[in-house]
Amino acid sequence: MRYGSISPNLFTENRRRFRELLPPASLAIFHSNDVMPTNADGTMAFRQNNDLFYLSGVDQEESILVLFPDAVLPQYREILFLKETSEHILVWEGYKLTKEQAREQSGVPTIMWLESFKSVLPALMNEAENVYLNTNEHIRSTVEVETRDARFIKWIREAYPLHQYRRAARLLHQLRAIKSPEEIRLMQRAADITEKAFRRLLGFVQPGVMEYEIEAEIFHEFLRNASRGPAYGSIIASGANACILHYVSNDRECRDGDVLLMDFGAEYANYAADLSRSIPVNGVFTKRQRAVYEAVLSVMKFATARLVPGGNIEEYHAAVGGQMEQELIKLDLLNEQDVKNQNPAAPLYKQYFMHGTSHYLGLDVHDVGFKYRTFEPGMVYTCEPGIYIREEGLGIRLENDILITRNGPDDLMKNIPLEADDIERLMKR
């Protein structure tokens, strides 16, 4: 792997916490993601299933993790099944994990080759009452292909119809919402790589540069710092493109007088960073651009201060919306009397700020977790207010990644330039 070694204690502890949530006689089975095809004999780059990675640290395709705390035989309480290498695989695909390496990397004591799985499974199922199986239960997920998990669920329910089948995802959502110190270290590394890319751009962006050239500079900086690449599709949106929330074409020329909205983040060891910045293409904000920028920054600081233990997402978003209303009134985008008389179910600020302010961040950019769970130490949220004025061709979004702690919010991106004066100063170099 490109990233540095991760202590197996992280994964051992994650498995321990998961086991504590299981009722007696429960077996849990986790599969790696598929290698996805493109066309002809092509395939996409492999990306591990985040739940399997969270519990094992194994970043290899065709892997299966089995957890069975109450197994009679101790060697069956944790088993990692791996694809066995061969001379053919070595020549055409290269390195695969040995049993010793997998044991050292994951902390799982029993490593078996994948071909043994179906011969071992009957003994495990004979002892188990409950079987926990994994699926993608993200509230915003749309899955139109049959995954390895889905195929296995169909097969095992047909082969063993009388067991009690349960959802592993709900348990993982509970656990993954709270980040351990080691996870925070990895996320900080992703944020630091993202900072390097942004500082690189401050000396690169100028009128006439193409959006895709900026994207290339980001990708270059990510790769040279041991990131696999972007954690999600980078948004490089100049001028009116910034008013398209998920703009990813990145094919327009950046023009003198434009504001450039960039939303990108590095992935490091499968963990994501998520940054948004808006900068003037020519290095200097106009009076109007700066006013809008300062309004967004004011809301961002207001929101960040409220990412503290004990809060909840509904009250938080309501408070941020109220603050945004006041900023939009100052910008003459909303009328104070209209705001007083508005329908609370359809607040007027949504004309200019259409998306939520924060979401979980972790192994996924929109990480898993229960949306309405009370804010707790160890959670990481983005903070990303924005104002999008389509009639002016101006969109500004600012975003940092915030760790909730007992002592208040800890900004993982506090070293990344944010103030308008700092942006202009750094772009003059």
Which structure tokens are listed for 54?
């969270």
Give the full edge-to-edge strand order of the sheet including 235-238: 235-238, 259-264, 275-280
Which one from 19, 166, 366, 373 is the annotated catalytic residue?
Answer: 366
Cβ contact 377:309 at 8 Å: yes
Strands 380-383 and 110-113, bridge-based pairing: unpaired
Which one from 51, 61, 367, 399 is the annotated catalytic residue?
Answer: 399
* Residue 41 falls in the annotated catalytic set: yes
State the CB neighbour count (10 A cutoff) for residue 28.
25
Which one from 170, 224, 355, 390 is the annotated catalytic residue?
Answer: 355
Give the burial string for 373-390 (b: 16+ CB within 10 Å, else e).
Answer: eebeebbbbbbbbbbbbe
H/E element, 276: strand 275-280
Amino acid letter, 244: I
Which one from 31, 34, 388, 401 is the annotated catalytic residue?
Answer: 388
* Residue 317 falls in the annotated catalytic set: no
Strands 110-113 and 78-82, bridge-based pairing: parallel
CA neighbours within 13 Å on the CB side: how many for 214?
32
Which one from 224, 246, 288, 425 is the annotated catalytic residue?
Answer: 246
Burial class (CB in 10 A: 0-12, 13-18, 19+), 23: exposed
Which one from 195, 215, 364, 384 is the annotated catalytic residue?
Answer: 384
Beta strands in 19-107 (DSSP E): 26-31, 64-67, 78-82
Which one from 274, 325, 367, 401 is the annotated catalytic residue?
Answer: 274
Bridge partners (DSSP) of residue 275 are 264
H/E element, 217: helix 211-223
Which one from 217, 263, 327, 401 is the annotated catalytic residue?
Answer: 263
* Residue 138 falls in the annotated catalytic set: no
Helices (H) and strands (E) counted in the chain, each on its own, are 13, 17
Which one from 149, 211, 359, 381 is the annotated catalytic residue?
Answer: 359
* Residue 173 falls in the annotated catalytic set: no
* Residue 397 falls in the annotated catalytic set: yes
Nearest residue to 231 via CA among 269, 185, 284, 282: 269
* Residue 399 falls in the annotated catalytic set: yes
**Residues that are catalytic:** 41, 246, 263, 274, 355, 359, 366, 384, 388, 397, 399
